[in-house]
């Protein structure tokens, strides 16, 4: 049975809270839950080219073998090397992380390090997955990321407002 495609769109922002937890934005939370067969399971992995992490639901596993086949066919057609075992380990090497009804989840420390994450994270929709950025790492990206950078700055400023009001 073919699964319907799930799409991650929009942006979100989270401060690292008590007990080191981050909060999955509501728009992504619903899609992750729906695409994880109603389970509150977030899959997180290192992006293979960018200095960030990716997140998605369990249904994406259905697509990974097709992706491997496409990448291998492209490599053969263009005469490039392709190590199917290495690429398979990259694609299937994600971590399944539970989240609660409020979207809170604990990011495994090795993923925090791989993503260069600190106290703030920015979420950017990307269709089949979403990216999870340290805002400083996002800022290092090229001009094609201008809209994401602007959204990140606006969401960071919004998240910082309650802090400024406290004494």
Domain boundaries along the sequence of the chain: 11-165
Per-residue pLDDT of 113-162, as tens digits, reads 999 999 999 999 999 999 999 999 999 999 999 999 999 999 999 988 86
In angstroms, rounded to a whole number, what is the distance separating the alpha carbons of residues 124 and 71? 24
What's the CATH architecture for 11-165?
A: 3-Layer(aba) Sandwich (3.40)
| pTM of the model as a whole | 0.87
What angle, 0 to 180 degrees and rounded to 10, lies between the N-to-C axes of helices 84-92 and 61-78? Answer: 150
The 10s digit of each residue's pLDDT in 74-85 is 999 999 999 999
């Amino acid at each position: 049975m073919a699964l319907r495609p799930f799409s991650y769109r929009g942006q979100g922002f989270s401060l690292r809270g008590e007990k080191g937890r981050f909060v999955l934005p509501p728009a992504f939370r619903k899609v992750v839950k729906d695409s994880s067969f109603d389970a509150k399971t977030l899959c997180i992995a290192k992006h293979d080219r960018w200095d960030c992490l990716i997140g998605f639901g369990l249904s994406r596993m259905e697509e990974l073998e097709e992706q491997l086949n496409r990448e291998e066919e492209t490599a053969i057609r263009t005469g490039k090397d392709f190590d199917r075992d290495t690429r398979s380990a990259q694609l299937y090497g994600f971590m399944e992380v539970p989240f609660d009804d409020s979207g809170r989840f604990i990011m495994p420390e090795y993923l925090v390090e791989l993503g260069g994450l600190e106290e703030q994270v920015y979420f950017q929709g990307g269709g089949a997955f979403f990216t999870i950025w340290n805002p400083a790492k996002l800022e290092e990206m090229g001009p094609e990321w201008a809209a994401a950078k602007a959204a990140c700055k606006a969401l960071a400023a919004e998240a910082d407002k309650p802090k400024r009001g406290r004494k």
